[in-house]
Structure formats: structure tokens, C-alpha cells
């Protein structure tokens, strides 16, 4: 015997039996619900003063019977269906509305998220007889629809007894329509399909904050680099973050519905999520949930080449993921219901945690070892007394390109973020037998959590030894100033605010002639930093930079190492 679920406490045995007997009924395949069954559902609803719902298959069998309270209903867990090509769930929800109220937002959200064939509410008159039939079904959303477009259609209510809706015809017509609207050639390349959620929290934005537009562009760029396909972007402005889920409940439902429509399996958030938020959102949406930092770490992981580069990335990943380790429940119930049950995963989770912690300790030790080796190499270098010039800057500014141009090398440079993870150093010889060490470094990016910087300590240690920074900015990027600020902030956090630097405006070949001329004539930037404009791809344009470097390092014709960096 199938059981009646939901809010059944306090029901009399006779009422329970009456509800259980509903399973024996059948509905003609073309009707939403038969008149007899509809009338019965209303009668029993009035008697118990609670909503009653049924899920009906296309053949007309009753699959579930469940009880709610006077104003809402919790669906049994039937699992989520991936947005497929055209197909619906094959189940329709029919339930009672005690005061003949229209379909609620919850009803429509269920329709969308569970991909039901349709959702119907039988509104009741005060005496318990059926009043109106309220009906809604899914509808494809055209790609160019405004962001407020909803993937459902609510039909005008009609008197229950006069309803003529032919369910079979309606559903098959809709499925055909969905089939036609389905995006073609999708998900064949195996790339993750992501929906981006970029939240502008006004309370957080300070001076020099990156614009919302630039943040979206950068997140897309990170996705491209990581090989993630962006299916859509949801943006929201909020006064402050919701502590539980970053964005509010309603917005999260919208995100979820959109993810279903777009067939996205990953949500990528900017700003970063707290471990609690990541858990809550994953539970709520049943989608993979990652944030900007995880995405960046993923890129790092793909890019690391050297042994210590790989170790550093793994350490950073473990550090970031440990508090986020999470066994996600795979079933999904009505959103308002929210099932807890993380049960069986818990032991395994603890085991993973322990292993992760052990691994972290081992990695730290190994990185320490490499770090000592590097220090050894550096002191050899120092002994030769060569000045060290480090190229620093936001990711993709052109640092590796500049190193290549200056030293005729072939370090990997490409139009992707974080192309460089392992720092390269080269010798560079000036005329008059002067020689320097020039170092390419890992690109910076705004808002990386501070403990990640700790993981990349070994790489960043190179910067401590530098006599001069070439702070390279991509002058053709509209947000270059915010990027410069982000880099300066990171350098300052590492106690490197005092290292002499030259601001190098790169990629001026991309600017229009007026702008190019204006930049080229500039000699110093705010903070009295010397400026030079170049195009790292054009060798000739870098001559002014080389002169400036030479002049800065050998002011009086002789290299003068900074006193504090080289005592004795």
C-alpha cells in the first residue's frame, strides 16, 4: 500500500484511509483531473482544513498523495531532473487551494525546478465545492528575453467544472516547442556549463573598487582560461551580503531556475563564499557551487609546471577547500521543505578531512625545503652583486612578453590569465658591461584571500630580493587603474611598499594615437613614480624603458645597491 506523506499528524484514521484510497483512482489521460476526484480532494481538504496534493502520471495513475497546511504544501522528494532536450517530468501536480487563491510563487518554482508537466490548483468555495481551476505550464524562454522573463505561463483561471484543457495535447505540443528551442551543439565538448552570479555589495565597495562591469568581464575571462563555458550571468546589487546564502532566498530561486533553463551544472560566485554559504547554496540548489577563488586555484592547478609550483598550488587548494569539504545530498525536495539528512556522508567526510590535514603538513614541509634551496640560489646571485629587477603586475599585463622581448627568450606568454606560475629569471646585459637579473613573476589579481598568498610565499619571496620593480599595467584595459591599485595593495601587504619602482604602461599599440602620445609624454605618475609607456610586443618601444632602468640602477655611473638590502 502506498502511503500518504506530508503534514498528516492529527488526522483521524478514517481520514487517512480516505486519502490512501486515492491511490486506487485513475484520471483519464487527457484530463487535468476528473471531476469526481477534484470534488473529492476539495471535500477532504475542507474537512481537514489542509491542502491536499497528488502527482499524476501521464497514464493517469496517482503516484503520490500528500497533505500540506492551510496555505502551502510540501512535495515529496522526487529528485531533480536535469534540463533535458524538451522532456518534462511526466508528472503533473494537482492540489487544492482552500480560499480559491491563485497559484503561488512556490507552485511555480516547483513547476520549473521539478520540470513538472504542469501544476494545477483547484480553488475552493467556502462550502468546500470546487471553484476555479488555476493552471500553469512551462514555456521556453528565448535567448534574447529580458532577465525578468519567467519560464512559465499562468493561464487565466476558469471554472473547474467547465475546464476543457486537454492535457495530453497541451504537454506534447509544449515538449515539441521545447525541442525546437533547445540550444544546439551544446555540451558536446565536455566543458563545464556555468552560470555566473556576480553580486555587488555596496557596503563593501570602497574607493578604487573595481566596477561591476569589470568584475563580470574578469570572471568571464577567468572562466575562459579555465575552460569553463559561461551560459549566463546573474547580477545583483545588495546593501549587504546575506550571511547564509550571500544572495536572498528569492534571488537564489531565480538563479536556480535560470540554471535549469540554461542547462548549467555549475554556479560560480563572485565575491567568494564563506564555507557556510557554499554549503547552504549547494544544498539548496543541488548544483556544483564554486567561487572566484576556487576558479583561480583551478587555473593555477592546470598551469603549474615546476615541482614546487605544483606543491604550492596543491597546498593552496587544500587550505581553501578543507573548511568547504562537504558531502552533498543528492536528492532535492520542495524548496520550502528543505531536507537535512547529510547522514551517511559524515564519517567519510571526517576521514577526508583528516587526510587533507596530514597532506597539508607534509606539503608545508616540502615547500619549506624548496624555499631554502631558492634562498641558497639567491645568495649565490647576490654574491655576484648583480641587481635584480622584477617585473610585477596584474595578470595578463604582458610581463612574460616583456621578459621575452628584453632577453630574446621564449617564456610562455599568452592571452590567458595566469599564464605564468613559475617565475623565470634571465640575465640581461646592457652596453658598457652592465648586467642585471630580470625576473618574470606570477600575475597578481585583486581579492585573493590572504592565506593563499601564504601558500605562494615561495614564489613571492623572489620579490623580497628585488632592487627594482617594473610595475607593468595593461594600459589598454579600461580597469587598469583598479588593477594597479590591487597590485600596489598586495605589494604593500607583503611589506614591499618601499622597493623602488617604475610604472610601465604597456600595450600602448592598442590605444588611439592621441592617447598613445599623451602617455608617451608622461614622465611621472602620482606618488612620484617614474613612468614609461611601451608596447612589449614592439622591441623598439622598450628602449626608453631600458634607459630608465639603467639610469635608476646606476645613478652615478655605478651600481649602488640599496643599503638595507645588502648590509656589509
Ligand X SMILES: Nc1nc2c(ncn2[C@@H]2O[C@H](COP(=O)(O)OP(=O)(O)OP(=O)(O)O)[C@@H](O)[C@H]2O)c(=O)[nH]1
Binding site for ligand X (CB under 6 A): 393, 395-401, 413-415, 417-420, 443, 506-507, 509-510, 535-537
Cβ proximity to ligand X: between 45 and 541 the closer is 541
CB nearer to ligand X: give 66 or 300: 300
Q: Which is nearer to ligand X, 163 or 506 (CB)?
A: 506
Q: At what angle do helices 345-384 and 307-321 cross, to 10 degrees?
A: 140
Q: Contact at 8 Å (CB) between 256 and 287?
A: yes
**Could you give the count of Cα atoms lying within 13 Å of 165 in the half-sphere of its Cβ?**
26
Smallest distance, ligand X to C-beta of residue 470, A: 11
How near is the Cβ of 418 to ligand X at its closest, in Å?
Answer: 5
Three-state secondary structure call for residue 522 = coil
- How many angstroms separate the CA atoms of 530 and 554, rounded? 15
Cβ of residue 425: shortest distance to ligand X, in angstroms?
A: 14
Q: Tell me how far apart the alpha carbons of residues 509 and 320 are, in angstroms, rounded to a whole number.
A: 39
| Site for Mg ion, residues 184 to 203, rule: CB under 5 A | none
Quick one: which of 324, 340, 430, 351 has its CA closest to 386?
A: 430
CA distance 24 to 290: 46
For residue 510, the partner it binds in Mg ion, ligand X, none, with Cβ less than 5 to 8 A by kind, is: ligand X
Helix (H), strand (E) at residue 22: none
Choose the stretch contacting Mg ion; rule: CB under 5 A; options: 66-74, 127-135, 205-213, 396-404: 396-404
Smallest gap from residue 437 Cβ to ligand X (A): 18
CB of 335 to ligand X, least distance (A): 41
The smaller minimum CB distance to Mg ion, of residues 222 and 419, is found at: 419
* Residue nearer to ligand X on the CB measure, 231 or 541: 541
Closest contact distance (angstroms) between CB of 509 and ligand X is 5
Residue tagged 537535512 (cell numbers)? 340
Q: Compute the least distance from the CB of residue 424 to ligand X, in Å.
A: 10
Pick from ligand X, Mg ion, none: which does 418 bind, CB < 5 to 8 A by kind?
Answer: ligand X
Residue 418 φ then ψ, to 5°: 55, 45
**Per-residue burial over 112-128, b = 16 or more CB atoms within 10 Å of its CB, e = otherwise:** bbbbbbbbbbbbbeeee
Binding partner of 74, given Mg ion, ligand X, none, CB within 5-8 angstroms per partner class: none
Nearer to ligand X, 261 or 400 (CB): 400
Count interface residues toward Mg ion (CB under 5 A).
Answer: 4
Question: Rounded CA gap, 163 and 32, in Å?
Answer: 9
State the minimum distance, in angstroms, from the CB of residue 548 to ligand X.
17
Q: Are 534 and 541 in contact (CB under 8 A)?
A: yes
Contacted by 73, from ligand X, Mg ion, none: CB < 5 to 8 Å by type:
none
Q: Taking CB under 5 A as the rule, which mask of x and - marks residues 398-437 in contact with Mg ion?
A: -xx------------------xx-----------------
Q: Which residue in the shown chain puts its C-beta closest to Mg ion?
A: 420
Residue whose grid cell is 520542495: 334
Q: Which is nearer to ligand X, 235 or 509 (CB)?
A: 509
- The alpha helices in 10-95, defined as continuous H runs, are 13-20, 35-48
400 grid coordinates: 612574460
Q: Which of 335, 417 has the CB closer to Mg ion? A: 417
Mark the segment that binds Mg ion (CB under 5 A) among 137-145, 397-405, 478-486, 525-533: 397-405
Describe the chain by its helix, strand, coil percentages, rounded to 5. Answer: 40, 20, 40
Closest approach, Cβ 375 to ligand X, in A, equals: 24
Is 396 among the residues that bind Mg ion (CB under 5 A)? no
Q: Kindly tell me which of 420 and 541 has the beta carbon lying closer to Mg ion.
A: 420
The least distance separating ligand X from the CB of residue 507, rounded to whole angstroms, comes to: 4
Q: Are 265 and 192 in contact (CB under 8 A)?
A: yes
396 binds, among ligand X, Mg ion, none (CB under 5 to 8 A by kind): ligand X
Tell me which H or E stretch contains 440.
Answer: strand 435-440
What is the residue-wise DSSP string for 270-328?
A: ESPPPHHHHHHHHHHH-SEEEEHHHHHHHHHHHH--SHHHHHHHHHHHHHHHGGG----
Give me the residues that bind Mg ion (CB under 5 A), please: 399-400, 419-420
Amino acid at each position: 500500500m502506498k502511503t500518504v506523506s506530508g503534514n498528516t499528524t492529527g488526522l483521524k484514521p478514517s481520514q487517512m484511509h480516505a486519502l490512501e484510497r486515492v491511490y486506487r483512482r485513475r484520471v483519464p489521460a487527457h484530463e487535468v483531473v476528473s471531476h469526481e476526484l477534484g470534488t473529492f480532494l476539495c471535500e477532504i481538504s475542507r474537512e481537514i482544513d489542509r491542502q491536499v496534493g497528488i502527482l499524476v502520471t501521464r497514464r493517469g495513475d496517482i503516484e503520490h498523495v500528500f497533505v500540506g497546511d492551510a496555505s502551502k504544501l510540501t512535495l515529496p522528494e522526487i529528485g531533480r531532473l536535469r534540463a533535458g532536450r524538451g522532456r518534462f517530468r511526466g508528472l503533473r501536480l494537482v492540489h487544492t487551494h482552500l480560499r480559491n487563491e491563485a497559484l503561488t510563487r512556490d507552485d511555480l518554482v516547483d513547476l520549473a525546478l521539478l520540470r513538472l508537466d504542469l501544476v494545477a490548483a483547484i480553488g475552493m468555495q467556502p462550502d468546500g465545492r470546487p471553484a476555479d481551476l488555476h493552471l500553469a505550464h512551462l514555456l521556453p524562454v528565448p535567448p534574447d528575453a529580458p532577465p525578468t522573463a519567467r519560464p512559465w505561463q499562468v493561464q487565466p483561471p476558469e471554472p473547474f467544472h467547465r475546464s476543457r484543457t486537454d492535457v495530453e495535447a497541451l504537454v506534447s505540443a509544449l515538449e515539441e516547442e521545447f525541442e525546437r528551442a533547445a540550444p544546439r551543439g551544446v555540451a558536446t565538448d565536455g566543458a563545464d556549463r556555468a552560470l555566473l552570479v556576480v553580486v555587488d555589495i555596496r557596503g563593501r565597495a570602497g574607493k578604487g573598487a573595481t566596477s561591476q562591469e569589470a568584475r563580470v568581464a574578469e570572471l568571464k575571462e577567468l572562466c575562459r582560461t579555465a575552460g569553463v563555458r559561461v551560459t549566463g550571468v546573474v547580477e545583483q546589487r545588495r546593501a549587504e551580503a546575506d550571511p547564509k546564502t550571500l544572495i536572498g532566498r528569492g534571488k537564489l530561486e531565480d538563479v536556480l531556475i535560470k540554471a535549469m533553463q540554461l542547462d548549467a551544472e555549475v554556479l560560480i560566485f563572485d565575491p567568494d563564499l564563506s564555507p557556510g554559504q557554499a554549503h547552504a547554496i549547494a544544498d539548496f540548489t543541488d548544483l556544483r557551487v564554486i567561487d572566484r577563488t576556487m576558479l583561480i586555484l583551478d587555473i593555477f592547478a592546470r598551469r603549474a609546471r615546476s615541482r614546487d609550483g605544483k606543491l604550492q598550488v596543491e597546498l593552496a587548494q587544500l587550505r581553501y577547500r578543507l573548511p568547504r569539504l562537504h558531502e552533498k545530498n543528492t536528492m532535492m525536495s520542495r524548496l520550502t521543505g528543505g531536507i537535512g539528512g547529510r547522514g551517511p556522508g559524515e564519517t567519510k567526510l571526517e576521514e577526508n578531512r583528516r587526510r587533507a590535514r596530514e597532506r597539508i603538513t607534509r606539503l608545508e614541509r616540502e615547500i619549506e625545503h624548496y624555499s631554502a634551496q631558492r634562498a641558497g640560489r639567491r645568495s649565490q646571485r647576490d654574491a655576484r652583486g648583480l641587481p635584480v629587477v622584477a617585473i610585477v603586475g596584474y595578470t595578463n599585463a604582458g610581463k612574460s612578453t616583456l621578459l621575452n622581448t628584453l632577453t630574446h627568450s621564449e617564456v610562455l606568454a599568452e592571452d590567458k590569465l595566469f599564464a605564468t606560475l613559475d617565475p623565470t629569471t634571465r640575465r640581461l646585459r646592457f652596453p658598457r658591461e652592465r648586467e642585471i637579473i630580470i625576473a618574470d613573476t606570477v600575475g597578481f589579481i585583486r581579492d585573493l584571500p590572504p592565506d593563499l598568498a601564504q601558500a605562494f610565499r615561495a614564489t613571492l619571496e623572489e620579490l623580497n630580493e628585488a632592487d627594482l620593480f617594473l610595475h607593468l599595467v595593461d594600459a589598454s584595459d579600461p580597469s587598469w587603474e583598479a588593477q594597479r591599485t590591487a597590485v600596489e595593495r598586495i605589494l604593500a601587504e607583503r611589506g614591499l611598499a618601499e622597493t623602488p619602482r617604475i610604472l610601465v604602461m604597456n600595450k600602448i599599440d592598442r590605444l588611439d594615437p592621441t592617447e598613445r602620445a599623451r602617455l608617451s609624454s608622461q614622465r611621472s605618475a602620482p606618488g612620484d613614480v617614474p613612468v614609461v609607456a611601451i608596447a612589449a610586443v614592439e622591441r623598439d618601444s622598450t628602449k626608453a624603458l631600458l634607459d630608465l632602468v639603467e639610469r635608476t640602477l646606476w645613478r652615478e655611473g655605478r651600481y649602488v645597491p640599496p643599503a638595507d638590502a645588502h648590509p656589509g
